[in-house]
Homo-oligomer: A and B are copies of this chain.
Amino acid sequence: MADRMEDFRNQLKEKGYKLTMQRQAVLNSIIEHEGEHLSTEEIYELVKKNHPEIGLATVYRTLLLLDRMELVYKLDLDDGCSRYELNKDNEDHRHHHLICTECGSVEEVQEDLLESLEEQILQKNGFIIKDHRVKFYGCCKKCIELLRKP
């Protein structure tokens, strides 16, 4: 569901902000690359194809906005820059990432499966968990196969 651009426009309007061509272009680039984890620089390069005049600072400012409006999700894949993915609006809990330390690939795990752990933490620490960030490091299927037959 959800026309994301409509959502963006409405959230902007609510706050008295404007839907500019640059903002549309940034969101569009991310939508067109759903499933990827684009860095700010990569998004900048994508947007420049159709809008060569755009400034990097505008991309940074727009991503901040999109993050705050929860239209995108900022992630840290340990490569020294921020990366973004489209927010799946049906997610109540953040999905996990599997990072292959051999080839650097990143997969997603939609399952949450942390409920019982979170319940235990509530019992033991009295800490109410509202969100989590989980990264798994290891070896992906492809790399396991490559390592098996050399």
Interface positions of A (Cβ within 8 A of B): 76, 98, 100-101, 107, 109, 111, 113-114, 116-118, 120-121, 125-141, 144
Cβ-closest chain B residue relative to A122: B138
Tallying the copies of this chain within the complex gives 2
A136 to B115, CA, bound (A): 12
Q: How far is the CB of A46 from chain B (nearest CB, A)?
A: 27
Cβ-closest chain B residue relative to A117: B113
CB neighbours of A126 from chain B (8 A): 140-141, 144
A134 to B111, CA, bound (A): 15
A-B contact pairs, 6 of them (CB 8 A): A98-B125, A125-B141, A127-B139, A128-B144, A131-B138, A132-B134
The answer to whether A132 touches B125, judged by C-beta atoms less than 8 angstroms apart, is no
CB neighbours of A135 from chain B (8 A): 132-134
A100 to B98, CA, bound (A): 25
Contact A101:B130 (CB < 8 A) given known A76-B76, A136-B121: yes
Interchain CB contact (< 8 A) of A138 among B98, B127, B138: B127
